[in-house]
Chain A
Amino acid sequence: MAVAARKASRSDAAPSAVKSRTARKTQSPAQKKGAAGFTKDQDLFAYREMLLIRRFEEKAGQMYGMGLIGGFCHLYIGQEAVVVGMQMATKEGDQVITGYRDHGHMLACGMDSKGVMAELTGRRGGYSKGKGGSMHMFSKEKHFYGGHGIVGAQVSLGTGIAFANRYRKNGNVCLTYFGDGAANQGQVYESFNMAELWKLPVVFVIENNRYAMGTSVSRASAQTDFSKRGASFNIPGEQVDGMDVRAVMAAGERAIEWARSGKGPYILEMQTYRYRGHSMSDPAKYRSKDEVQRMREEHDPIEQVRRRLIDQWKLSEDELKAVDAKVREIVNEAAEFATNDQEPDVAELYTDILK
């Protein structure tokens, strides 16, 4: 009983773990940059990218409420710094694959917000012609390989993309994202083993948002330090403040460099938080309102950058408003397009089954 209670209280204290700004490493390459400071351009870029994801997701939530988006819809609100920071550390040609909380990844990869939103509404102008929906979108052009609905499946798939990189000797790295929930799937460890065995250029980005649907990390995971999950395969890992886009990018650069240089896979545990429920129909009763409120007020990834833009880079309210307005315009255009675009032609029912 005592042991159980202690475990529980440790996990309840987890929110404070995110406060630590310095990335803690288990086994990692020699260099240690810490949360490097951004230039003004980088801050502005990160702000715009994250805000686009935030506003896009809010709009998607609203459109879901209006019945325009059906089925499951998993919003990325709160986790924006992870994908934006990682994307800032990549180079052209690096691939991205993730699970079903994927809208943010697509936008960060440069996919068109109209095409993403139209896929959410199931219209012909969507990335999958309306046949994939929220969880299944792809863009070969932007090196985005989905968008996968089976928890953990993308980990083996991403390892395969990395295998192809090594096979072709093209110097690319595959960023393979999954959550704290997926981290308990068996194929993740099968993939870790092969990735290290064959020194595949893959970075495993574990987005630990603390809840696998309604189950907190401590109720589901014997080892809650996900950066250690590759330890028995000798895969280095580190925990990163996933709410700080600078820390994310710095860690991303270390990990990607490691993988690109032929040293094999690398694990980044991004300590992050989703503000919304698991999906649109999740009331999120498994956590307190205070917990959510505290994260929003004290750790919001966008607010952190916004403060820097004001305090450090002396941007005026008007300049920030102009950015906000531009982002809203993009999102509104996407919503407009996704609302008015036609449903797929009925003939599409039987296309794309086989090549």
Chain B
Amino acid sequence: MPIDILMPALSPTMESGKLSKWLKKEGDSVKSGDVIAEIETDKATMEVEAVDEGVLAKILVGEGTEDVAVNTPIAVIAGEGEDAGSVANSTAATPAAPAQAPAGEAPQVSSKQHEAPVSAVAAPPVVSAQPDPEVPAGTEMVKMTVREALRDAMAEEMRRDEAVFVMGEEVAEYQGAYKVTQGLLQEFGADRVVDTPITEHGFAGLGVGAAFTGLKPIVEFMTFNFAMQAIDQIINSAAKTLYMSGGQLGCPIVFRGPNGAAARVAAQHSQDYAAWYSHIPGLKVVAPYTAADAKGLLKAAIRDPNPVIFLENEILYGHSFEVPKLDDYVLPIGKARIARAGSHVTLVAWSIGMTYALKAAEELAKEGIEAEVIDLRTIRPMDTDTIIESVKKTGRCVTVEEGWQQSGVGAEIAARVMERAFDYLDAPVLRVSGKDVPMPYAANLEKLALPSVADVVAAVKAVAYV
């Protein structure tokens, strides 16, 4: 059967081009890889190679023809055993007028619709997290720091599953830069508690590769500020590969470490990345406040088959909370917790933002304003339902975060409240946040740059019109 050579598309956007030169003439034999013609696109002159073998029986579009639409037959090749002459004659009869075919009418093979596969209108799945497990009455509560709770969570999961290991800078022999991994090396050995060189990009990628094979790495960043070196691996490799592989290659990994401002460490060591990671489909982002949540959510993160960004806070490491003494305390990722009930205004916070929110709520209570404080706990997937239910009750909402306002988590919450509870709002949603500056070093300026209890109180009073 004679084979048509079609005008090729030579870039993702090409629709037509000029056939500038034929390098083979009628009667020439061609084989795979032979350059047969040159074509000018809007960008460059490209060579066209033959894919099929045979004899060039007929040239249908002459040299110098402009605006030849993509997929127009430009020549015919007679295959083996075919008579080039008769092929040429039979095709000569068919009207091949490619030059006249306007580019716009070119057959667009790529957009050809096959039997339209309409099963369902594509809609994002509805996310609903399970409620927290009941803590049985009479369960002993143990006071412990967030630091200890995190360590216990890792140790318990490492005992439970051989595939879990922890790696990062100073996690083993030094016992953790912030002592979060204290004792793990002694219990689990150097194969499972791995000190890395200072090489964030490299060990983040290494962790992701290990996770592709089914291991469950806990990758500690000394702080998330340094993870900016590794963010390509976190987003492009960890978050996207499940999708790009059509569900074949999961990435069960936890990236954890302190996030946001510590104290007096200036701009490069003080950034809050909650908004950055929460932007990315394919990631889960957790930012606990209490020790109990830190423990229950880190255990959940380690068991989760997806990449989880676990944002801790250096200042909170030393804070103590009651933690239920249970063998296996695992909390649901994606579920907010109402930390304080109230009816006048909804405060949404997480991580260290909760300290401002709770103190502000106490002060406001003295003035007769009862704030409902929601500890978001997970930034992505966000428990929008809990926020909306609260706002429907209070009619007012203030968000609290240390990160910047523009495209921040508070901005996202405000948008969702506007979309789903607009008619219930008695005032605009206000955002208390870090100021729009790089973090200054000087003590007085740093204090000004961070949100404060007074900022939260003022915002609440503004939305309450008092």
How many of chain B's residues touch chain A, expressed as a range?
35 or more
Interface assignment of B289: CB less than 8 Å from any CB of chain A: no
| Given contacts A66-B9, A167-B191, A146 and B49 within 8 Å (CB-CB) | no
A72 to chain B minimum Cβ distance, whole angstroms, is: 8
Say if the beta carbon of B97 comes within 8 Å of chain A.
no
List the one stretch of B143-151, B195-203, B414-422, B433-441 in contact with chain A.
B195-203
List CB contacts (< 8 Å) of A131-169 with chain B.
131-132, 136-140, 145-150, 153, 155-165, 167-168
List residues of chain A with CB within 8 A of the CB of B138: none
A285 lies within 8 A of chain B by Cβ: yes
Bound CA–CA A65/B6 (angstroms): 8
Q: Are B165 and A145 in contact (CB under 8 A)?
A: no
> Are A161 and B212 in contact, with the CB atoms below 8 A?
yes
- Measured between beta carbons, the chain B residues less than 8 angstroms from A285 are 44
B242 is an interface residue with CB less than 8 A from chain A: yes
Report the bound CA distance from A285 to B197 in whole Å: 42
**Which partner residue on chain A sits nearest B6 by CB separation?**
A66
**A128, B51: Cβ atoms closer than 8 Å:** no
Asked if B43 lies at the interface with its beta carbon under 8 angstroms from chain A, I say: yes
* Residue contact B191 to A65, C-beta cutoff 8 Å: no
A65 adjacent to B8 (CB under 8 Å): yes
Query: Bound complex: CA of A64 vs CA of B241, how far in Å?
Result: 24
B110 within 8 A of partner (CB): yes
Chain B residues contacting A15 (CB-CB under 8 Å) are: none
A283 touches B (CB below 8 Å): yes
Interface presence of A355 (CB below 8 A): yes
Residues of A within 8 A of B41 (CB): 281
Q: Chain A residue with minimal CB distance to B70? A: A67
Say if the beta carbon of B444 comes within 8 Å of chain A: no
Q: Is the CB of A64 within 8 A of B242?
A: no
User: Do the beta carbons of A55 and B32 come within 8 Å of each other?
Assistant: yes
Q: Residue A354 contacts which of B108, B206, B207, B242 (CB distance < 8 angstroms)?
A: B242
CA of A68 to CA of B51, assembled, Å: 15
Interface contact B244-A191, CB-CB below 8 Å: no
The residue that B247 contacts in the complex, of A77, A95, A197, A352, with Cβ under 8 A, is A352
A211 at the binding interface (Cβ < 8 Å): no
Q: In the complex, are the beta carbons of A355 and B206 less than 8 A apart?
A: no
Instruction: Give the Cβ gap from B205 to chain A, nearest Cβ, in Å.
Output: 2
In Å, the complex CA distance between A216 and B44 comes to 20
Q: A140's closest neighbor in chain B, by CB?
A: B248
Contact with A along B247-260 (1 / 0, CB 8 A): 11110000000000
A262-309 interface (Cβ within 8 A of B): 275, 277, 280-281, 283, 285, 296
Q: Is the CB of B122 within 8 A of A350?
A: yes
Residues 161-184 of A at the B interface (beta carbon under 8 Å)? 161-165, 167-168
**Is the pair A153, B232 in contact by a Cβ cutoff of 8 Å?**
yes
Shortest A92–chain B CB gap in Å is 15
Which residues of chain B (245-301) have a CB below 8 Å from chain A?
Answer: 245-250, 281-282, 284
Given contacts A194-B197, A355-B250, contact A150 B236 (CB under 8 A): yes
Given contacts A66-B6, A191-B206, A345-B117, contact A352 B232 (CB under 8 A): no
Query: Does B346 sit at the interface, judged by CB under 8 A?
Result: no
Least CB distance from A289 to B in Å reads: 9
User: How far apart are A346's CB and chain B's nearest CB, in angstroms?
Assistant: 4
Contacts of B49 in A (CB 8 A): 58, 61
Any chain A CB within 8 A of the CB of B210? yes
In the complex, the answer to whether A275 meets B237 with C-beta atoms within 8 Å is no
Is the C-beta of A253 less than 8 angstroms from some C-beta in chain B?
A: no
**Distance in angstroms between the alpha carbons of A283 and B42 in the assembled complex:** 12
- Minimum distance in angstroms from B335 CB to a CB of chain A: 15
Contact with A along B31-51 (1 / 0, CB 8 A): 011000000010111111101
Interface residues in A, total, Cβ within 8 A: 78
The one of B45, B211, B233 in contact with A156, judged by C-beta atoms closer than 8 angstroms, is B233
Q: Which residue of B lies closest to A162 (CB)?
A: B209
- In the bound complex, do residue A186 and residue B10 qualify as a contact, i.e. CB atoms below 8 Å apart? no
Residue of A at shortest CB range from B121?
A346
Known contacts A55-B32, A167-B210, A191-B206; A126 and B284 CB within 8 A of each other? no
Write the nearest CB–CB distance from A264 to chain B, whole angstroms. 15
| Known contacts A67-B110, A342-B114, A344-B117; A354 and B209 CB within 8 A of each other | no
Once the chains bind, are A61 and B51 in contact (CB under 8 Å)?
yes
Residue pair B199, A193 in contact (C-beta under 8 Å): yes
Q: How far is the CB of A340 from chain B (nearest CB, A)?
A: 8
Contact B119 A58 (CB under 8 A): no
Task: With CB as the reference atom, state the residue of chain A lying closest to B41.
Answer: A281
| Distance, CA A181 to CA B249, complexed state (A) | 26
- In the complex, what residue of chain A is closest to B113 when comparing beta carbons? A343
Kindly state whether residue B174 has any CB partner on chain A within 8 Å.
Answer: no
Return A124 CB to nearest CB of chain B, in Å.
8
Q: How far is the CB of A322 from chain B (nearest CB, A)?
A: 14
In the complex, the answer to whether A131 meets B246 with C-beta atoms within 8 Å is: yes
Does B134 reach chain A (CB closer than 8 Å)? no
List the B residue with the shortest CB-CB distance to A344. Answer: B117
Please name all residues of chain A whose beta carbon is closer than 8 Å to the beta carbon of B202 when the two chains form the complex: 156, 159, 187, 190-191, 193-194
Q: Can you list, as one digit per residue, whether each of A187-207 has a CB less than 8 Å from chain B (1) or not (0)?
A: 100110110010000000000
Give chain A residues whose Cβ lies under 8 Å from the Cβ of B233.
153, 156-157, 187
B124 interface contact, C-beta 8 A: yes
Contacting pair A132 B115 (CB below 8 A): no
How many Å lie between the Cα of A275 and that of B33 in the bound state? Answer: 9
Q: Which B178-229 residues have a C-beta within 8 angstroms of A?
A: 191, 196-197, 199, 201-215
Tell me whether A346 and B122 are in contact in the complex, defined as CB-CB below 8 angstroms, given that A160-B209, A193-B197 are known contacts.
yes
Decide if B12 is an interface residue (CB 8 Å cutoff): yes
Q: Which residues of A contact B (CB under 8 A)?
A: 54-55, 58-59, 61-62, 64-68, 70-72, 77, 95, 97, 124, 126-132, 136-140, 145-150, 153, 155-165, 167-168, 186-187, 190-191, 193-194, 197, 275, 277, 280-281, 283, 285, 296, 340, 342-347, 349-355
14 A-B contacts, Cβ less than 8 Å apart?
Answer: A58-B33, A66-B6, A127-B248, A130-B246, A131-B244, A162-B209, A163-B210, A187-B205, A190-B202, A193-B197, A193-B199, A277-B46, A350-B124, A351-B247
B contacts, CB < 8 Å to A: 6-12, 14, 32-33, 41, 43-49, 51, 70-71, 108-110, 113-115, 117-125, 165, 191, 196-197, 199, 201-215, 232-233, 236-237, 241-250, 281-282, 284, 305-306
